[in-house]
Structure 1
Amino acid sequence: MARTEHFHDPHAPKPNSIVVAVTTFVLDGQDRVLLIQRTDNGLWALPGGAQDVGESIAQTVVRETREETGIDVEVTGMVGIYTDPNHVIAYSDGEVRQQFSICFRARYLAGQPTESDESSRVEWIEQHALDELNIHPSMRLRIDHGYANLPQPYIG
């Protein structure tokens, strides 16, 4: 299913849903961040996705990261909560979702970067190389906050 990101776009469609979703900020031993290139829009992003009924939010982080990247992680904290009502995601099935994403900090446990149905590429990316990638501004904010290691989670 294709998706289109609208960010502070006055012509964006009106949202018709909010879904609890997560993203995972995880670094390897060389301070490289784990990113995927999404198959639904081609953008680079932190791994993540929607919470399933019957799982805790930490279980969602672990499951989504493993599914999209092949990497096993352990949740260690929170980077922030991202709920900008002017960021909506329109899906090809008619759903228009208002952003609601909790970005978690996690520790790498095991695994090798492995592509999935949702990720055409999975790579550990050095911070200085981020500007070369096509990353949505909202996702870049989460990555920058993760690297900043703020004393308190971002709420916005």
Structure 2
Amino acid sequence: MAQYLYGDRIAAQGRLMLGCSATLFDATRSKLLLTRRTDNGRWCLPGGAVDAGESVSEACVREVFEETGLTVQVVRLLGIYSNPHRMVRYADGNQYHVISMNFEVALIGGELGLSNETTEVGYFSQAEIDTMDLIDPHRERMAAIWSNDSIPTIA
């Protein structure tokens, strides 16, 4: 289970990890696709770590497929997140300063379903998401997602 630790430049205690997340709107652009994680029961945008030898867009597409069964295409960068005051520690003791990119993606195909990483998936409105237990890094991404700003957030 991932635990988020906070403190002044605490991420300096971890190793760097590159990650990505995907923002997939429904057809009306009024709801977002979220997944509920198996490891901690919290909600998040589909996503995960970038593997060596793949591009960030390839990682984004792969992670969405692995977690939801959907095939997507990266449309644009929405933001880059690199909070040095937050570190993630996993159950195995590894801890990371995560640098993550959030991309808007478009649906190409596939069938929405569950995986060994997800217990629930669905599309939710901004009002619904505001009441959900999101993982910490994804809560901060919501403001940028709903702003419809054409300039990526860098935080």
Do they superpose with TM above 0.5? yes
Maintained 8 Å contact 1:14/1:96: no
Match of 1:56 in 2: 55
Distance 1:127 1:13, change over 3 A: closer
How far did 1:13 drift? 8.3
* Number of matched pairs: 153
For 2:88 and 2:136, locate their aligned partners in 1 and report how far apart those are by CA, in whole Å: 13
So what's the TM-score if we normalise by structure 2?
0.90
Q: Is the 8 A contact 1:50 1:60 kept in 2?
A: yes
- 1:19 counterpart residue number: 17
> C-alpha distance in 2, partners of 1:94/1:137?
19
Runs of 4 or more, structure 1, over 6 Å off, are none
Query: Quick one: distance in 1 between partners of 2:83 and 2:46?
Result: 19
After TM superposition, the structure 1 stretch with the greater mean CA deviation from structure 2, 129-138 or 22-31, is 129-138
Matched-pair contact (CA < 8 Å) for 2:32–2:125: yes
2:119 maps to amino acid:
S
* 1:146 CA drift (Å): 1.4
| Structure 2: 5+ residue stretches without partners | none
Cα offsets for 1:43-74 (capped at 9, x unmatched) = 11000011112211111110000001111111
Q: Secondary structure at the match of 2:83?
A: coil
Equivalence for 2:126: 127
- C-alpha deviation, 1:108, in angstroms: 1.5
Is 1:117 aligned to residue 110 of structure 2? no
Alpha-carbon distance, 1:42 to partner: 1.4
2:33 paired residue number:
34
**Cα contact 2:11–2:96 (8 A) shared by 1:** no
What letter matches 1:64 in structure 2? E
Amino acid at match of 1:101: S
Query: Partner amino acid for 1:20?
Result: L
Aligned partners of 1:25 and 1:143 also within 8 Å: no
Cα distance in 1 between the residues matched to 2:76 and 2:148: 10
1:82 matched to 2:77: no
Deviation at 1:39, TM superposition (A): 1.1
Structure 1: how far apart are the matches of 2:12 and 2:82? 15
Which runs of no fewer than 5 residues in structure 1 stay unpaired?
none
Q: Distance in 2 between matches of 1:13 and 1:82?
A: 13
CA contact (8 A) 2:12 2:84 kept: no
